[in-house]
Homo-oligomer: A and B are copies of this chain.
Amino acid sequence: MNSIRVSIFEDNKHLRESLYYLINGTEGFICTGTYNDCSDLVFQLKRNPPNVVLMDIEMPGINGIEAVKIIKHELPAIQVLMQTVFHDDDNIFNAICAGASGYILKTTSPAGYMEAIKDVYNGGSPMSGSIARRVLELFQKNIMPVTNKDYQLTPKEKEILQHLVKGKSFKMIADAISASYETVRTHMKNIYTKLHVNSNTEAVSKALQEKIV
């Protein structure tokens, strides 16, 4: 079966070489390249594409986070596993926001390293509880905020609100729903009352932010 192809970006020569031998010395893994910085990043990765990139977060020149952004933009299929010497939550979090699939501490055992690489390759995202929590919190706050407060909007009102969000004027909405301008206005008044707003912009804002539309 095919080996998991791994590239290493790490400025510390000793660690870089250790990882190289570790990976090539493990059944089912092969190292496609080691690099001490991110110059020619895309070129190198395209010439000899890995499945997984092991990326140091602290590096001279282009740092690991920038590198992740570039990789995910140019070669989105490649999974990036960040590695860092210490638990720098902020940087790790940023790396994950940039598209990294997981991260690992450099103090991890060789077996743990291989485990994490395999996990990433197989679609997992190894990360610590504290990083996971930060991701979760942002996640729960921004995605899920199915803040489904129920404003008791009628179907017609929702329909009108949708048109409004699309940027239509009252006149255009009237046209779209085959009703008179005044009807739309009446509906809008009712929407304003229900949403506790008093302008079209506020209504649009609330509709989008609370996912009423």
Q: Could you tell me which A residues sit within 8 Å of B by CB distance?
A: 96-97, 99, 101-102, 119-120, 123-130, 132-133, 135-136, 138-140, 142-144, 164-167, 169, 197, 199-202, 204-206, 208-209
Distance (Å) between the CB of A176 and the closest chain B CB?
Answer: 14
| Contact residues in B for A204 (Cβ distance below 8 Å) | 201, 204-205, 208
| Contact residues in B for A197 (Cβ distance below 8 Å) | 167
| Contact residues in B for A139 (Cβ distance below 8 Å) | 135, 138-139, 143
Distance (Å) between the CB of A56 and the closest chain B CB?
Answer: 20
Listed residue (A126, A142, A169, A201) with the most chain B CB atoms within 10 angstroms of its CB: A201
Q: Bound state CA distance, A201 and B125, in angstroms?
A: 38
List 13 extra interface pairs beyond A123-B130, A123-B133, A167-B202, CB under 8 A: A101-B133, A101-B136, A120-B129, A124-B129, A125-B130, A132-B135, A135-B139, A138-B143, A139-B139, A167-B201, A167-B206, A205-B208, A208-B209
| Contact residues in B for A201 (Cβ distance below 8 Å) | 164-165, 167, 200-201, 204
Q: Are B136 and A136 in contact (CB-based, < 8 A)?
A: no
Interface of A, helix, strand, loop or mixed by DSSP:
helix
Distance (Å) between the CB of A169 and the closest chain B CB?
Answer: 7
| Contact residues in B for A123 (Cβ distance below 8 Å) | 130, 133
Distance (Å) between the CB of A85 and the closest chain B CB?
Answer: 20
Q: Are B140 and A142 in contact (CB-based, < 8 A)?
A: no
Q: Bound state CA distance, A200 and B99, in angstroms?
A: 33
Distance (Å) between the CB of A203 and the closest chain B CB?
Answer: 8
Other-chain contact of A136, B129, B135, B144, B165 (Cβ < 8 Å): B135
Q: Bound state CA distance, A93 and B70, in angstroms?
A: 29
Other-chain contact of A129, B97, B125, B164 (Cβ < 8 Å): B125
Other-chain contact of A119, B97, B129, B142, B205 (Cβ < 8 Å): B129
